[in-house]
Structure 1
Amino acid sequence: MDEITTYEIIRQTIMAVLIGSGPVLIVALGVGLVIAFFQALTQIQEMTLTFVPKIAAIFLTLAISLPFVFSTLVRLSDRVFDLIVSGGV
Structure 2
Amino acid sequence: MKLFVDCKKAGHLCDKVQYKDASLFEKLSVVVHNMVCKHCSDYSERNLRLTKLINDPKCKKMPEDCKKRIQQELDRELAKDQNK
Q: Report the TM range for the smaller structure's normalisation.
A: under 0.3
TM-score, structure 2 length as denominator?
0.27
Give the TM-score normalised by structure 1.
0.26
Structure whose residues are more often helix by fraction: 1
